[in-house]
Chains A and B, each alone.
Chain A
Amino acid sequence: MDIHIFWFIMLGILLAGYAVLDGFDLGVGILYPLAKTEEEKRLFLNSIGPFWDGNEVWLVTFGGALFAAFPDAYATAFSGFYTPFMLLLWALIFRAVSIEFRSKYHSNIWKNTWDWSFCFASILATFLFGIAVGNCLKGIPVGEDKEFSGVLADLLNPYAITIGILAVSTFAMHGSIFLYLKLEGEIKEKVYKWLWHTFGCFVVCYIFCTIYTLVSIPHVIHNFEEYPWLWFIVVLNVLAIGNIPRALFLGKPGYAFLSSSATLIAFTALFGVALFPNLITSSLSPEYSLSIYNASSSEKTLNLMKIIAFLGMPFVITYTLIIYWVFRGKVKLGKFSY
């Protein structure tokens, strides 16, 4: 396989891994205000307790791999999206420490502050991911020198904001299914009700965004004309979404979670298909776009990193599975909980 395409797919895998894994813990953060009592709040936090920082590593590795494989795309995107990325960093910092600090001191003001910062940071981070995806699809002003030449306001366009809202609703749904899986008793019944709301919001956003995308940026489907088998992803996506309510009706939340994970993987794949072979589409002229060929590292580096990835990924997947296996089952509060 073309080494450039290999790394494009590898980045896709890292991004999909991040969306599926951190997606549910960001979702729990988005839904957090729905937990009313102290016990409910702690159940929410402890459902993601052992996982969230391992999940975030997928983002770190995605960033590192983008830097390594396509340094020009990394440099253009990160310097071009300066302010949104700073906001994202602040959100992720606050989120991390909110989870860690909240239960370390018993005072209402202390806990309320971290509660709100956890929720707000989760929403903001998710929304900003959506903004980034939206702008990548739409294209940003990149000149001949590979540098972003726009202003902040360019990034806050209606399309990107719509995708930002889609991201929030998607993670909220994904997170609520995860909670439904991990909780039991009264709170589980409560979550079940919200689950339908989040699913409804998600479907509405999904349909609206699909239409909006096809109307305003028709070139997203240019790859489908050349490679019709890609329609398979769209079919998978629709089936996965459709299977969520089915699995819930059948009382199989595990399948619902797998389906919403498949939905996120399909979204990532569609995002990749829409971009390919570009990483950053220039809205000024197609020839200024940063593609997997003109923005990449040398073939030597790409091949080296392929070896690193083949050596490392089996371990990563193995111990990710071990961790999820060790902490399987319903969440229970104990002396080592948050």
Chain B
Amino acid sequence: MTEFLSTEILARLQFALTIMFHYLFPPLSIGLGLLLVFMEGIYLKTKNPIYEKITKFWVKIYAANFAMGVATGLVMEFQFGTNWATYSRFVGDIFGSALASEGIFAFFLESGFLAILVFGWDRVSPKVHFFSTLMVALGSVGSAVWIIIANAWMQSPTGFHLVGEGMQQKAVIDDFWAMVFNPSSVRMIVHAIIGCWLMGAFFVMSICAYYIIQKKHLEVAKKSFVIALLLGFTASLLAASSGHFLADRIAITQPAKLAAMEGHFSTGTGGAPLYLFGIPNSEKEKVEYGIKIPGGLSFLVHWNFSSPVIGLDQFKKEDRPPVGITFFSYHLMISLGVYMLFITTLSLILLKKKKLFETKWIMKLYCVSILAPILANQAGWVATEVGRQPWIVYGLMRTPDGLSKAVKADQILFSIIVFAFIYILLFMAYIFVIHNKIKHGPDEIMQNKKIGA
């Protein structure tokens, strides 16, 4: 194998491929899950059959999405052991309890009640059904919480001590709650869940906008759109503020990551600028073609324009994260966040003036705007994970040290190729199925389908 296709690069590539693909589905499950609770809640309160129709329509789409989430999620759990065995040995003591909690407290809950959510309309009372919807939504959030706790621990490990030497070294837990409430976890969880709400809201809005343009299923589309818009607007506001609090914490726990996100190379003596745009050049250690707010970064971190912020020059070259990817993904996320805040605010104003659904261009814009939260969620993940490099567990274990020793590069290469092939196939089938559901629309669900049709 050439150096480029080393086991490390391949294992990381595989992880990135499988997790980014997986991360298309759970955020939608979480966001759409909350919207289902709203929709069915309104139905239960008003008994207006239109809300029953709305709920049933989105449940159908939810189910297809959920299956993809489960199927691709299994890969994540196995992959720690298959590709990152040494890492698994190192963190098992800590990481394990979070994974076990996820399985027992969250995953069973959502998968169990999903059966009633999807198949149980005729079998249980409306109240029990609503309770199931609530449990599914709660379970999917719970899953995310435990997984992010495990990830947050990798960003800012606390509540442990190290035993053993060299490759036999392990982190052993001292304090479970210190592990759970490590400095990153709460802020990461909040920001990620809000990202999921954006996903759910924009997904619903984009499909409804399509119906509105086509002048089909107008009642379902408009009512769903308004519910989603309220969530989308709230989540956009919350995303900005929670993002700020998260960056604030990263400045303390992982200053090298923040510096890479902001393209902040030299610490200097005065205020640090905030780049709105630019191309970071790691060779020259500066940002080229930058548009910056002088002192802006200092203001965000220290609440004044003149205190210095730790730059990449404070870290040894081998301890610095890749600047380009981190900078671009972070800035992409922020730009998309600003876009989502802008478009939802504008839509609320138009809604108030009763012009929203008649404004064609904004409806057209919503059709494609589903890409905004998808890309923002992915970019946020990339900035978080690439920004942690070269550490797999920050400050404790370097990424190449976490690899499986029993696995060869060609095995991974083969499996990446198969995964890529399968995922492309699955994605096409998924889009096809969703597209079909959308094309048939909510009316199909309310008709009594003939058996065997």
- Interface residues in chain A, defined as those with a beta carbon under 8 Å from any beta carbon in chain B: 38-39, 42, 49-51, 53-54, 56-57, 59-61, 63-65, 67-72, 74-80, 82-83, 85-86, 88-90, 92-94, 96-97, 99-101, 104-106, 145-149, 297-298, 300-301, 304-305, 308-309, 311-313, 315-316, 319-320, 322-323, 326-327, 333-337
Complex contacts, A301 vs chain B, CB 8 Å: 93-94, 96-97, 172-173
- Bound together, the chains give a CA A286 to CA B120 distance in angstroms of 52
- Bound together, the chains give a CA A71 to CA B180 distance in angstroms of 19
Asked if A319 and B109 sit within 8 Å, CB to CB, the answer is: yes
Number of interface residues of B (CB under 8 A): 77
With A93-B71, A93-B422, A100-B64 as contacts: A69 and B96 at CB distance below 8 Å: yes
**B399 sits at the interface (CB 8 A):** no
**B393-448 at interface with A (beta carbon < 8 Å):** 404-407, 411, 415, 418, 422, 426, 429-430, 432-433, 436-437, 445, 447-448
Asked if A297 and B93 sit within 8 Å, CB to CB, the answer is: yes
- Bound together, the chains give a CA A336 to CA B81 distance in angstroms of 38
A-B contact pairs, 29 of them (CB 8 A): A50-B115, A53-B66, A54-B111, A60-B103, A63-B78, A64-B100, A67-B88, A68-B96, A72-B89, A82-B415, A83-B411, A85-B78, A93-B422, A96-B67, A96-B70, A97-B430, A104-B433, A145-B405, A148-B406, A297-B96, A298-B172, A301-B96, A309-B104, A312-B101, A312-B104, A312-B108, A316-B104, A316-B112, A319-B112
**B48-96 at interface with A (beta carbon < 8 Å):** 63-64, 66-68, 70-75, 77-78, 80-83, 85-86, 88-89, 91-96
- Bound together, the chains give a CA A49 to CA B96 distance in angstroms of 31
- Bound together, the chains give a CA A61 to CA B74 distance in angstroms of 10
Asked if B100 and A65 sit within 8 Å, CB to CB, the answer is: yes
Complex contacts, A42 vs chain B, CB 8 Å: 452
> How far, in Å, is B67 (CB) from chain A's closest CB?
4
Q: Quick one: closest A residue to B128, CB to CB?
A: A326
Which of A54, A76, A100, A335 makes the CB contact (< 8 A) with B108?
A54
Q: Quick one: closest A residue to B86, CB to CB?
A: A75
- Counting chain A CB atoms within 10 Å of each CB, the highest count among B70, B94, B176 belongs to B70
> How far, in Å, is A12 (CB) from chain B's closest CB?
16
- Bound together, the chains give a CA A77 to CA B89 distance in angstroms of 12
Known: A64-B99, A75-B85, A298-B172. 20 other contacts (CB 8 A): A39-B452, A50-B118, A63-B77, A64-B77, A68-B95, A69-B96, A70-B92, A71-B92, A79-B407, A85-B82, A93-B74, A94-B422, A97-B429, A145-B405, A297-B92, A301-B97, A308-B105, A316-B112, A322-B112, A336-B119
Asked if B68 and A97 sit within 8 Å, CB to CB, the answer is: yes
**B449 sits at the interface (CB 8 A):** yes
With A67-B99, A75-B85, A77-B81 as contacts: A82 and B406 at CB distance below 8 Å: yes
The 8 nearest A-B residue pairs measured at CB:
A71-B92, A68-B96, A78-B81, A312-B104, A61-B103, A50-B115, A79-B404, A75-B85
Asked if B82 and A79 sit within 8 Å, CB to CB, the answer is: yes
- Bound together, the chains give a CA A56 to CA B92 distance in angstroms of 22
- Bound together, the chains give a CA A53 to CA B89 distance in angstroms of 29
> How far, in Å, is A137 (CB) from chain B's closest CB?
20
**B121 sits at the interface (CB 8 A):** yes
- Bound together, the chains give a CA A134 to CA B432 distance in angstroms of 40
Which of A49, A83, A323, A334 makes the CB contact (< 8 A) with B112?
A323
Q: Quick one: closest A residue to B59, CB to CB?
A: A336
**B451 sits at the interface (CB 8 A):** yes
Q: Quick one: closest A residue to B453, CB to CB?
A: A106
Asked if A312 and B105 sit within 8 Å, CB to CB, the answer is: yes
Which of A94, A147, A313, A337 makes the CB contact (< 8 A) with B104?
A313
Asked if B101 and A308 sit within 8 Å, CB to CB, the answer is: yes
Q: Contact flags (1/0) for B104-129 with A, using CB distance below 8 Å? A: 11011101111110111111100000
Q: Quick one: closest B residue to A42, CB to CB?
A: B452
Asked if B437 and A67 sit within 8 Å, CB to CB, the answer is: no
Asked if B433 and A105 sit within 8 Å, CB to CB, the answer is: yes
Which of A70, A94, A334 makes the CB contact (< 8 A) with B122?
A334
With A74-B92, A104-B64, A326-B116 as contacts: A57 and B107 at CB distance below 8 Å: yes
With A53-B70, A69-B96, A297-B96 as contacts: A79 and B81 at CB distance below 8 Å: yes
Asked if B100 and A53 sit within 8 Å, CB to CB, the answer is: no
Which of B67, B96, B114, B436 makes the CB contact (< 8 A) with A67?
B96
Asked if B75 and A49 sit within 8 Å, CB to CB, the answer is: no
> How far, in Å, is A322 (CB) from chain B's closest CB?
8
- Bound together, the chains give a CA A309 to CA B104 distance in angstroms of 7
